[in-house]
Structure 1
Amino acid sequence: MLEIHKSIVVDENQKPIAVQIPIKEFERMEEVIENYGLAKLMDEVADDEPVSVQEAKHFYGSLKRDVKS
């Protein structure tokens, strides 16, 4: 499990309003979340029909044309 060293920031009424964590731990948390999202996306498309290289090139070419216009 990822250990998180956090500092809780409170307002003048001692109500928690924010959390500070070391940047390295934050970056690790981002990496874990991104990897989880990528795994979920891969699961979602696992049963999709594969496309040929030519079909992929045509598709990505159409995206470039859409961005330019």
Structure 2
Amino acid sequence: MLEIHKQILVDENQKPVAVEIPFDEFQRIEEVLENFGLAKLMDETENDERFSGDAAREYYESLKAGDVED
């Protein structure tokens, strides 16, 4: 399990309002979340139509150019 060294910031009523963590730990958390999201997306799209490499590049370029609607 990822160990997180956190400091809880409270307001004048001692109500928690924020959490402060070291930046390198934040980056590890962000990487874990991105990997989880990617794995979930891969699972959800396992049976979707597949593009060839060239078709995928062409589609990606059209997205960047704004040519394709959702």
Does the TM-score normalized on the shorter chain lie above 0.5? yes
Partner of 1:14: 14
Structure 1 equivalent of residue 67 of structure 2: 66
**AA partner of residue 26 (structure 1):** F
**Structure 1 residues 61 and 26 mapped into 2: Cα distance closer, same or farther (>3 Å)?**
closer
Structure 2 residues not aligned, in runs of 5+:
none
For the structure 1 residues 24 and 61, does the alpha-carbon distance in structure 2 shift closer, same or farther, using more than 3 Å as the test? closer
User: Normalising by the residue count of structure 1, what TM-score does the alignment of the two structures yield?
Assistant: 0.77
TM-score scaled to structure 2, two decimals? 0.76
Counterpart residue type for residue 8 of structure 1: I
- Write out aligned runs for 1:1-69 (5 A): 1-63=1-63, 64=65, 66=67
**Per the alignment, in what secondary structure is the counterpart of residue 18 of structure 1?**
strand
* Greater helix share, structure number: 1
Count residues in correspondence.
67
RMSD (Å), alpha carbons: 2.1
